[in-house]
Structure 1
């Protein structure tokens, strides 16, 4: 990787809002060359902080076009931040299969495909860094968020394996798992409808209200940006990072040390199930 910070080029998927935008703004202010992505940059015509490229993580040709654009302009891409993601809620029994597939396409196959597209360039330039934004929800199966938990857990495990495969190429990879942050993720989340008369009607409705309240009360996404900046500066990332409220991070520790059924009871009490 280039030793001159000002020449480091960063690509952030999903950079038009939320955590991705906060990271981009922070890195621009630190002197990095930043590109964000959006499925439809035209919707953000007033967006001037950094360049937004058209990119849908489900479209491998579009991914390659964005990477080629950066390579032709700068001859390198030092840091990829796989941030684009989508929420999904609902009783697993009632979520349509196409919505499950769509969620995994965004949260799991998308980051894999973007990473595959940048690796040849990183290998050619002698190194690079890939940061996958996962979720604390990926460390546990949460009721009515099981598909989301699974997609993020899959990315966590894949990163563990992939970073070992890439070490010899001087390409580093890490996971950063945020808890609840004050972003618009709840608005963009796929909600399976609360079905009147469904056996899940009352507990699912109650859980939805609780989840939305957690996001509304979440931390400032700039906190994520600061962690990302420190990881990039350090240039030798750990396997996992967790960013969020103390109890959210502590819940991962509890899962490691408590008997499974006791931990399950804690979660059920938390969600009032």
Structure 2
């Protein structure tokens, strides 16, 4: 039988590219969206799911199991961007971003694990971000959510070893998707002490996404991971300098690396 793959956030961007690519390789793919009715022409089924609403997670997993009887691969791709000076981002928006990028994926994992244990097999791929390896100015909350998901995956992997369930992270750099349009942007306030620098940084961040790589690179990388018998703990996908920035953080003194980031953001 074909492997069954569930992709959260599979209606657009990286999730859509991954789903379409995996279909060409013979996988049975299910995607999710908060509004599946908006994607009637999707090449694979789109099921209603909001990762911040546990009941929709439960219903989505039940729908896939009813139709396919198993879930071989979960790709936790759904997520949301957020920008702004940490001081000025409303607490409610910080909490909402953690609900989407951290607690949401954990709850989807919890929902599929009983099935994967009963199958004595399964693979969970958490889509994080290269931004999760460093605290980026004006993206601090986003970095924190993705960094938290990276770390908890390390713990989860060890806890799952006895059940033949594998888990890994894939950290993308900037890809040409619509993530910028869906971000929460803290407004550039007229009387803000961050007004000038944040305004400039916001433009830089949006330009990086617009000039990002083809999401098909992520699709090809995830396909290789699925086909790997024993996946690594961490993968990075993106432009060379974005991946190299993680290496620099490991080898450079903290303050030197901080100066490099500040120069990049013209701070």
Relative to the length of structure 2, the TM-score reads: 0.99
Aligned to 2:97: 103
Aligned to 2:38: 43
Deviations 1:5-41 (A, max 9, x none): x521000000000000000000011100000000010
Structure 1 residue aligned with 2:23, among 28, 37, 40?
28
SS in 2 for 1:175: strand
SS in 1 for 2:227: helix
SS in 1 for 2:46: strand
Q: CA RMSD in A?
A: 0.7
Flag as ranges the 4+ runs of structure 1 deviating above 3 A.
none
Relative to the length of structure 1, the TM-score reads: 0.97
Residue 73 of structure 1, CA deviation: 1.8
Aligned to 2:211: 217
Give the length in aligned residue pairs. Answer: 267
SS in 2 for 1:7: coil
Distance 2:135 2:127 in 1: 18
1:182 is the counterpart of 2:176: yes
Structure 2 residue aligned with 1:259, among 231, 253, 259?
253
Residue 45 of structure 1, CA deviation: 2.2
Residue 260 of structure 1, CA deviation: 0.4
Matching of residues 68-147 of structure 1 within 5 Å: 68-147=62-141
Structure 2: gaps spanning 5 or more residues: none
Residue 263 of structure 1, CA deviation: 0.3
Deviations 1:57-104 (A, max 9, x none): 011111111111111222210000000000000000000001001100
Distance 1:130 1:235 in 2: 13
Aligned to 2:13: 18
Distance 1:228 1:209 in 2: 30
Distance 2:34 2:173 in 1: 25
Deviations 1:183-221 (A, max 9, x none): 000000000000012100000000001101110110000
Residue 235 of structure 1, CA deviation: 2.6
